[in-house]
Amino acid sequence: MTNDYLDSIKKQFQYYKQLGDKTFAQLSDDALFWQFNEDSNSIAIIVSHLSGNMISRWTDFLSSDGEKDWRNRDEEFEPQITSKQELIDKWEQGWNCLFNAINPLTAQDLNQIVYIRNQGHTVLEAINRQLAHYPYHVGQIVMLGKMLAKDGWQSLSIPKGKSQAYNHDKFAQPKQNRHFTDEYLDNSTKEQSS
C-alpha cells in the first residue's frame, strides 16, 4: 500500500504541474501578469508563491522545518517576476525541489515526523498537506488562464459537451487498474516526443 501511495502522489504532482505547463503555453506574456485588482493575484504572483512554498517545504525535507527562516512569504505576493521565461524558470525550480525530495522517499519514511512551523506531521501528512495546497493554486492558474485565453482556450480536461462521448469511450474499454493520471501523463509524453 505505501509504495502504491508514493507512486500515486508522484503522478498526482506531475499531473498538476502539467496543468500549469499547458496553461502557460496557451497564454501571451501579458496575460501572465494580469491582475483583476490590487487585492488579487496574477498568474505570475501565484507561481512566485508556489515556488517559494515548494523550495521552503522540500529543501532538506526530512531534516529541517518546512518553513525556512530565509523564506519571505509576504514578498511572494508582490510582483517580482518580469518575464515569461523567468516565470517558467521559477516554476521549474519549485517543482524540481519537490521531486528531488519525494523521489527518493521509501515506505519506511512515511511515518517519520517532520515539522512545518514547529507543528509535527508524519511525512505522509506533510505530503497530503501540499497535495491539497498546490492543486488549489494550480486551479487558480487554470481558471485565470481560461478567462485570459478567451476563445483560444484548449481544454485541459473533458471539453464542454463531450462528457457523453468521453464516458462512452471509457466504458467501451475493459476494466483496468490504472492511476487516473496515466492517460494524461501518457498523452503529454507522446505530444512532447512528436
pLDDT value of position 152 = 86
Least confident of 39-43, 55-59, 72-76, 165-169: 165-169
Which pLDDT tens digit goes with each residue over 62-106?
Answer: 999 999 999 999 999 999 999 999 999 999 999 999 999 999 999
pLDDT tier at 60, thresholds 50, 70, 90: very high
Q: What is the pTM of this model?
A: 0.90
CATH number of 2-157: 1.20.120.450
Here the contacts of 98-102 (C-beta below 8 Å, separation 24 or greater) are 98/13, 98/54, 98/57, 98/58, 98/130, 99/10, 99/13, 100/58, 101/58, 101/59, 101/61, 102/6, 102/9, 102/10, 102/13, 102/58, 102/61, 102/127
